[in-house]
């Protein structure tokens, strides 16, 4: 896969099948668009996914999005939504970007796709210019789950409510956080349940603070676990957002390793306890919940 951070950096004379958008979260609706682009690709036609970085509250960070898209497309353009793109007249965008830069043979978009200055460009305009420039336009209907349209906004609301099962259904995969395991205060180790701390990237959308059953990938192996997402109010006042996980069945040293934590089920909200003893009793109960969730032998 070719990875590019600026549209102007793309150089190829091959025809393309292209889709464009924010693709925040790469939920099931986005996956449908990318699948259609992939279906149009061939030896003579490259698949292009052009994704715009829209700033904060991202369901996927740039590195997470790249990892998911690498197997799905020939070319990934992950670019900022800068002033030149925002102010470009939609007719100019079609001519200079889709036709002259991407040599589009197929353009695949959703029903509400808009582009160009003041979002004047839309599906109807793309349809009008299709014959002029010789590309085929495919408009893909919205994906629906449980009677409602799947959208990034709906995913965010599910995360905020602690409805991680719903969020995962809408995404088509488990919501996760990835990062390097940091050194903490070692309190968990002293209390008998050593934990791993992974910081959230600043712009990543966090779920409801609380305790979750989770899956943890370490060195390519998946383990069950129990994790707290939040700011650990009982033991620190830093207000730094972390995923702190106790990994069931793992006794190695993961400090400095890159791990991924997938959230599976919400147990309870984050709490501030009056004492460390009270915290330990609750964590013991949380670990029991995790063992039962994953159908592990209790001990």
Q: pLDDT (tens digit, 9 = 90+) per residue, 71-122?
A: 999 999 999 877 788 889 999 999 999 999 999 999 999 999 999 999 999 9
Q: Is the dihedral of CA 20, 21, 26, 30 positive or negative?
A: negative
Cβ pair 45, 17 in contact under 8 A: yes
What is the tens place of the pLDDT at every residue in 249-292?
Answer: 998 999 999 999 999 999 999 998 888 888 889 999 999 999 99
**pLDDT value at residue 127:** 98
The DSSP line for 67-115 is HHHTTT-SEEEEEE--HHHHHS-HHHIIIIIIITTT-EEEEEEETT-EE
Cβ contact 261:177 at 8 Å: yes
pLDDT at 131: 95
Q: Which domains does the chain carry?
A: 2-145 (3.40.50.620), 174-293 (2.40.30.30)
In this predicted model, what pLDDT tens digit does every residue of 215-249 receive, in sequence order?
999 999 999 999 999 987 666 667 789 999 999 99
- Specify the pTM: 0.93
CA distance linking residue 91 with residue 97, whole number of Å: 10
pLDDT of residue 235: 64
3-state secondary structure of 63: helix
Question: What pLDDT shows up at residue 47?
Answer: 98
> Which residues pair with residue 53 across a beta bridge?
80
**Exposed e or buried b for every residue in 258-283, given b needs 16+ CB within 10 A?**
ebbbbbbbbbeeebeeeeeeebbeeb
């Amino acid at each position: 896969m070719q990875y590019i951070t600026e549209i102007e950096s793309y150089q190829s004379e091959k025809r393309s099948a292209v889709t464009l958008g924010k693709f925040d979260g790469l939920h099931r609706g986005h996956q449908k668009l990318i699948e259609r682009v992939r279906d149009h690709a061939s030896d003579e036609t490259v698949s292009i996914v052009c994704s715009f970085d829209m700033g904060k509250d991202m369901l996927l960070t740039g590195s997470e999005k790249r990892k998911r898209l690498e197997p799905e497309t020939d070319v990934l353009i992950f670019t900022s939504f800068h002033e030149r793109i925002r102010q470009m007249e939609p007719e100019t965008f079609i001519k200079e970007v889709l036709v002259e830069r991407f040599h589009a043979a197929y353009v695949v978009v959703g029903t509400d796709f808009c582009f160009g200055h003041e979002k004047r460009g839309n599906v109807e305009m793309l349809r009008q210019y299709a014959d002029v420039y010789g590309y085929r336009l495919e408009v893909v209907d919205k994906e629906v789950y449980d009677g409602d349209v799947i959208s990034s906004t709906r995913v965010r609301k599910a995360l905020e409510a602690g409805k991680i099962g719903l969020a995962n259904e809408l995404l088509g995969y488990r919501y996760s956080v990835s990062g390097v395991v940091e050194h903490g205060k070692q309190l968990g180790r002293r209390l008998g349940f050593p934990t791993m701390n992974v910081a959230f990237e600043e712009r990543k959308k966090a779920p409801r603070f609380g305790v979750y059953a989770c899956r943890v990938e370490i060195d390519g192996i998946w383990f069950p676990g129990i994790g707290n997402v939040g700011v650990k109010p009982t033991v620190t006042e830093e207000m730094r957002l972390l995923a702190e996980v106790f990994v069931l069945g793992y006794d190695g040293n993961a400090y400095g390793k890159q791990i991924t934590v997938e959230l599976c089920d919400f147990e309870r909200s984050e709490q501030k306890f009056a004492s460390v003893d009270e915290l330990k009793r609750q964590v013991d109960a949380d670990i029991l919940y995790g063992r039962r969730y994953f159908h592990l032998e209790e001990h």
